[in-house]
Amino acid sequence: MNFEQARTTMIQQQVRSWDVLDPRVLEVLQSVPREEFVPPRHRKLAFSDLRIPLGHDQVMMRPMEQGRLLQGLALNGTERVLEVGTGSGFLTACLAEFAAHVTTVEIFDDLAQQACSNLEGQGVLGVDLRVGDLFDQSFSARSFDAVVVSASVAEIPPVLIELLAPGGRLAIVRGHSPAMEALVVSRDASGILSQESLYETDLPRLIGAEDVPQFEF
């Protein structure tokens, strides 16, 4: 399989067709070897318009979904980023290209080990990978400029909003299957929240977030 040709086709026919036009995002999707982060048995599907299973009912998002998410966050290279759900480590590697530092949390030990191996194999720097439940982690309030959740919630857990620094953004999928919505929630300098809808999708639930009380904007 010609991975470079498949990667270029993925970007031109899938990612760009979803209005992902930020040249920085397109460059990262071109340069980070997606096939090296896909489970070996699914490697030939690395550039397909599919969510790739990772085990434990978790999935790797479609390329165009990841592209829209990265574009929606509009990172400038100075941010401290928290990623919830490391998965294969591919999105982690992409975030590391845009941010000053990425802290990523994965609840499943085997996925975390594989992601660590993937990241180290590609020489990705500036990433702190933690194993455990997000809700058991000790993070200071307003300690991240961006939070990315690679899973869905019925309603946004207040703790995720509390982690956002002024000017911070939260990328998350909210709603109920099969019609969930990917959002970027922004917090301005005065603490006022606003949200932007990115696309419709359907992702597995964030473990521990199924019954979180509703957060009102």
What CATH number did the domain enclosing 51 receive?
3.40.50.150
Report whether pLDDT(3) > 90.
Answer: yes
Residue % of the chain over a pLDDT of 70: 96
Contact 69, 49 (CB under 8 A): no
In a domain, 217, yes or no: no
Report whether pLDDT(210) > 70.
Answer: no
Residue % of the chain over a pLDDT of 90: 90
Domain range enclosing 118: 3-201
Angle between helices 90-98 and 63-73 (to 10 degrees): 30
Report whether pLDDT(8) > 50.
Answer: yes
In a domain, 215, yes or no: no
In a domain, 138, yes or no: yes
In a domain, 209, yes or no: no
pTM assigned to the model = 0.93
User: What total number of domains does the chain contain?
Assistant: 1
In a domain, 214, yes or no: no
In a domain, 159, yes or no: yes
Buried b (16+ CB within 10 A) or exposed e, 105-140: bbbbeebbebbbebbeebebeebebebeebeeeeee
Residue 214 binned pLDDT confidence (cut-offs 50, 70, 90) = low
pLDDT digits (tens, 9 = 90+) for 144-199: 999 999 999 999 999 999 999 999 999 999 999 998 999 999 999 888 999 999 99
Which residues touch 96 (CB under 8 Å, ≥6 apart)? 102, 124, 125, 126, 127
pLDDT digits (tens, 9 = 90+) for 67-100: 999 999 999 999 999 999 999 999 999 999 999 9
Please, how many CA atoms are within 13 Å of residue 87, restricted to the half-sphere of its CB?
30
